[in-house]
Amino acid sequence: MAIQWFPGHMNSARKKAAETMEFIDVVIEVLDARAPEASTNPMIRELREHRNRPCLKILNKADLADPEATQQWLDFYNAQENVKAVAMSCKSATDAARVPRLCQPLAPHRNSTHKPLRMMIMGIPNVGKSTLMNMLLKRRVANVGDEPAVTKSQQCHKLNDSMTLTDSPGLMWPKIQHEEDGYMLAAIHAIGRNAVFEEEVAANLADSLIARYPGRLFERFGIRDTDGVGVLEAVAKRRGCLKGNRMDIEKAAMILLTEFRSGKLGRISLETPASRMAMIQANHERSKEGIGPDPAME
């Protein structure tokens, strides 16, 4: 199943972001540390590169991600031009307080009341942008919720006499090129539930856990490695998910997804730079064999 999600308000949000970019000094791009590149919006990269704006990439929810994989991503991003990458939890006031100090060296010419540093928070839905905004301003100015696309309009605030901060709505892009990205984005809850089938997303997640973190499902559910569908059936049996006389696979899927998202399965990353390169190469090879469309090589 190819997962796509691009609500109508995101098109106007993209246009507004492009206009605002002209007056911004540093882009703060919030990613999900469990799937950093899958949660990178290529439109954001295009917008900031068009204006030659430096970027602070925040790998948020690092407390839920595999620290070894996170370090690999930090090395990957910090090797890129005009990019600084850090891992943190935006729910931590201490972590959030570091952000302005990390942005300042990216635009050293903007550091006064006459030339304030102008920052804009960007990213896909539900990665923690509004949480970061509220932490930085030390008050609730942005709606926060465990659902994608809570924020639907830009907000600009004065952080102090020499810094301003703009929060933008979560931006998806019109077409997700790699099917695997769609599943990862759905697993981390960056895509609205009306665009996905939880059973398919959970089965895909289970297959990924079996391949990348063998033993985690046994530790949590007592399930021996099988396959994604078998995992959901086993979760349904062990957690008593019944609909009449039949197993409630949909409920079992939500249990698996919820426990992954909350960290109850342990610190898990769904991709690494190496696994992503292998995925893109495999998709390219399949396209050459006529199995599917040719995904853009990134």
Other Cβ atoms within 10 Å of 229 Cβ, number: 15
**CB-CB contact of 265 with 220 (8 Å):** yes
Question: What pLDDT band is residue 294 in, cutting at 50, 70 and 90?
Answer: very low
Q: What is the C-alpha to C-alpha distance for residues 153 and 22, in angstroms, rounded to an integer? A: 18
Q: In this predicted structure, what is the pLDDT of residue 142?
A: 60
d(CA 73, CA 67): 10
Mean per-residue pLDDT of the chain: 88
- pLDDT in the model for residue 235: 95
Region 78-92: mean pLDDT is 97
Query: Residues 144-182: pLDDT tens digits?
Result: 544 444 444 677 899 999 999 998 888 888 888 899 999
Instruction: Look at residue 269 and tell me whether its pLDDT is greater than 60.
Output: yes
Residue type, 36: P
The confidence score (pLDDT) of residue 148 equals 45
For tokens 């609909």, what's the residue? 243
Beta-strand (E) ranges in the chain? 26-32, 55-60, 83-87, 117-122, 155-160, 163-167, 242-243, 246-247
Global confidence as pTM: 0.88
User: Where residue 33 falls among pLDDT bands split at 50, 70, 90?
Assistant: very high
- Is pLDDT above 70 for 298? no
Long-range contacts of residues 209-216, Cβ cutoff 8 Å, at least 24 apart: 209/260, 209/265, 209/268, 212/268, 212/269, 212/270, 213/265, 213/266, 213/268, 216/265, 216/266, 216/268
Domains and CATH numbers, the chain: 11-167 (3.40.50.300), 179-287 (1.10.1580.10)
